[in-house]
C-alpha cells in the first residue's frame, strides 16, 4: 500500500504462531537508493521480491536493510535477502540488538521455556517447522549501528528513535519528508485502533510505555505498525491518550 511518494507498506501473509497473520515491512526509496525496514518471517523472500517487483523497486534496487529489532518475524528473511542480492546490502540496527541479530547471543524471546509453551499450541506439522526455526535462527552481520536521534541521510532523512521495551534495543524510524512513523512493534493496530505494545510479546512493558511517550515528541501523520498496518487518524492525539491512560 502506498503511504507517500517513495514509501510503501508491504503486506506479507504469514503463518504466525497464533495462526495466519499479516506482517508489514516498509520499503523506502529515492532516485539513489532503496531501503527495506524489517524482513518478515523466514522463507518470505519470494513474497518480498514479488511485492517489490509490483511496486517497481525490484530487489536489485535495494541497498540497505534497517532492522527495528531481533524478533524472528522481523529478521526472518534477512539472510535470504542478503544472499539473493547481486551487490552488498548494508544491514543497520541499534548497538543493543546487534549481538542477537548476528547470532552471538540467543534471541531473547526464543528460549526453551517459551518454545515449549508455543509448540504445545501448534499442530504437529507446524511444530516441526517452528522447532527448526528455533534451533537454527536467522542471523546476519550488522554493518552499521544507529543511535537515538541520528538522522540517516537516506530518502529525505530517516530519524532513528530509540524505543526500548518490546526488546532491549528496539528502534522506530521517522521518515522526515512524509512524517511517517515506522513503529515496528512499539505500537500495534488492533481493530482499526492504535494501541500500545502487545503486553504478551513485550520484554519490558514499563520501558515500552516510556518509549511510547517519547513518540509524542514527533509530528506524525501516519503510523505503520508491523502488526496491524497503518493508522492515520490524528496520530498525536491518539498517542497522547495512550500515554495518559498508561500513567
Window contacting Zn ion (CB under 5 A); options: 8-16, 47-55, 73-81, 231-239: 73-81
Smallest separation (angstroms) from Zn ion to the CB of 73? 4
Smallest separation (angstroms) from Zn ion to the CB of 30? 27
- Does 38 sit near Zn ion (CB under 5 A)? no
Q: Which residues are bridge partners to 82 per DSSP?
A: none
Task: Compute the distance between CA of residue 214 and CA of residue 235 in angstroms, rounded to an integer.
Answer: 14
Task: Compute the distance between CA of residue 95 and CA of residue 146 in angstroms, rounded to an integer.
Answer: 7
Over its C-alpha atoms, the chain yields an Rg (Å, rounded) of 17
- Does 80 sit near Zn ion (CB under 5 A)? no
Q: What is the DSSP letter of 76?
A: T
Window contacting Zn ion (CB under 5 A); options: 67-75, 135-143, 148-156, 209-217: 67-75
Instruction: Give residues 176-235 in contact with Zn ion (rule: CB under 5 A).
Output: 185
- Does 73 sit near Zn ion (CB under 5 A)? yes
Nearer to Zn ion by C-beta: 6 or 184? Answer: 184
Nearer to Zn ion by C-beta: 35 or 225? Answer: 225
Nearer to Zn ion by C-beta: 34 or 228? Answer: 228
Nearer to Zn ion by C-beta: 195 or 236? Answer: 195
Smallest separation (angstroms) from Zn ion to the CB of 227? 6
Task: Compute the distance between CA of residue 93 and CA of residue 79 in angstroms, rounded to an integer.
Answer: 15
Q: Which residues are bridge partners to 188 per DSSP?
A: 195
Please tell me the count of residues contacting Zn ion according to CB under 5 A. Answer: 3
CA end-to-end distance (rounded Å), the chain: 34
Q: Which three cell numbers stand for residue 117?
A: 509453551
Smallest separation (angstroms) from Zn ion to the CB of 58? 25
Smallest separation (angstroms) from Zn ion to the CB of 126? 18
Q: What is the DSSP letter of 87?
A: S
Smallest separation (angstroms) from Zn ion to the CB of 33? 25
Nearer to Zn ion by C-beta: 8 or 73? Answer: 73
Task: Compute the distance between CA of residue 61 and CA of residue 86 in angstroms, rounded to an integer.
Answer: 10
Give SS3 for 97. coil
Task: Compute the distance between CA of residue 19 and CA of residue 124 in angstroms, rounded to an integer.
Answer: 14
Nearer to Zn ion by C-beta: 155 or 181? Answer: 181
Instruction: Give residues 107-136 in contact with Zn ion (rule: CB under 5 A).
Output: none
CB 79 within 8 A of CB 72: no
Largest CA distance in the chain: 49
- Using CB under 5 A, list all residues that contact Zn ion: 71, 73, 185
Amino acid at each position: 500500500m502506498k503511504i507517500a511518494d517513495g514509501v510503501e507498506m508491504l503486506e506479507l501473509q504469514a503463518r504466525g504462531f497464533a495462526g495466519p497473520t499479516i506482517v508489514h515491512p516498509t520499503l523506502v526509496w529515492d532516485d539513489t537508493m532503496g531501503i527495506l525496514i524489517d524482513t518478515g518471517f523466514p522463507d518470505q523472500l519470494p513474497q518480498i521480491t514479488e511485492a517489490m517487483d509490483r511496486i517497481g523497486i525490484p530487489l536489485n534496487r535495494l541497498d540497505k536493510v534497517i532492522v527495528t529489532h531481533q524478533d524472528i518475524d522481523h529478521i526472518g528473511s534477512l539472510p535470504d535477502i542478503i544472499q539473493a542480492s547481486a551487490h552488498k546490502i548494508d544491514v543497520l540496527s541499534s548497538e543493543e540488538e546487534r549481538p542477537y541479530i548476528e547470532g552471538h547471543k540467543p534471541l531473547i524471546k526464543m528460549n526453551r521455556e517459551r518454545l515449549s509453551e508455543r509448540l504445545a499450541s501448534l499442530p504437529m506439522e507446524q511444530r516441526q517447522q517452528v522447532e527448526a526455526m528455533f534451533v537454527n535462527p536467522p542471523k546476519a552481520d550488522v554493518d552499521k549501528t544507529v543511535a537515538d536521534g541520528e538522522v540517516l541521510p537516506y530518502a529525505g532523512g530517516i530519524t532513528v528513535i530509540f524505543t526500548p521495551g518490546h526488546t532491549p534495543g528496539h528502534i522506530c524510524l521517522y521518515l522526515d519528508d512524509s512524517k511517517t512513523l515506522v513503529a515496528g512493534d512499539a505500537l500495534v493496530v488492533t481493530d482499526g485502533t492504535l494501541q500500545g505494545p502487545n503486553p504478551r510479546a513485550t520484554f519490558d512493558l514499563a520501558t515500552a510505555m516510556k518509549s511510547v511517550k517519547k513518540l509524542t515528541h514527533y509530528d506524525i501523520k501516519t503510523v505503520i505498525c508491523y502488526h496491524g498496518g497503518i493508522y492515520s487518524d490524528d496520530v498525536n492525539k491518539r498517542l497522547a491518550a495512550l500515554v495518559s491512560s498508561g500513567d
